[in-house]
């Protein structure tokens, strides 16, 4: 006996970088409250998610205007991320660092918030960062690979070569992110 297929609880929208998707969740509710599916590998396969979840992280950022990023892990520890906003609002950015990609060194962004129920799916080989658009922003990250300190890397979020447009003046950034080197014009990208 087969069970009838249920409609997906996600609407997937491809963004301008191959493999980067906005994933809108559909909240189901009744008089008791609501339920929102955060992750389902079968349903997210349509967005390109094909990995196990190896690690889940939660960040809390206190002040609007804060920038965290642009972070990635070097191959062979490259990771996919599914980033969800649990509280507040954030401008979530993906930057394509994949060698040979037609969108190499281009970025795209999506506002994610507790209200809009949108998450950003970021494939391996892309850097990730965000700017908080409100105070007290909480993000939940599902990672396809565990954090590997020796593979930890990043791109300066203010690198003029990248031209990332942050929607608000930057109020706070870690010393580590602010001191990341600028990309050399000879940067060839990340190989798998």
Q: Which residues are catalytic?
A: 71, 141
Concatenated DSSP letters of 130-148:
EEESSSSEEEEEEESS---
């Amino acid at each position: 006996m087969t069970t009838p297929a249920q409609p997906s609880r996600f609407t997937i929208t491809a963004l301008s970088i191959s493999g980067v998707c906005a994933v809108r969740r559909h909240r189901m509710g009744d008089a008791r409250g609501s339920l929102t599916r955060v992750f389902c590998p079968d349903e997210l396969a349509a967005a390109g998610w094909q990995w196990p979840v190896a690690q889940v992280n939660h960040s809390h950022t206190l002040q609007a205007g804060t920038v965290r990023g642009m972070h990635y892990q070097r191959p062979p520890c490259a990771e996919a991320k599914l980033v969800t906003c649990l509280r507040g609002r954030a401008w979530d950015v993906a930057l394509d660092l994949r060698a040979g990609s037609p969108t190499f060194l281009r970025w795209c962004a999506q506002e994610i918030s507790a209200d809009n129920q949108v998450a950003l799916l970021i494939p391996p080989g892309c850097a990730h960062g965000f700017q908080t658009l409100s105070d007290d922003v909480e993000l939940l990250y599902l990672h396809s690979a565990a954090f590997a300190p020796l593979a930890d890397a990043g791109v300066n979020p203010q690198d003029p070569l990248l031209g990332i447009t942050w929607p608000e003046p930057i109020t706070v950034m870690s010393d580590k992110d602010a001191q990341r080197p600028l990309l050399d014009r000879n940067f060839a990208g990340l190989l798998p």
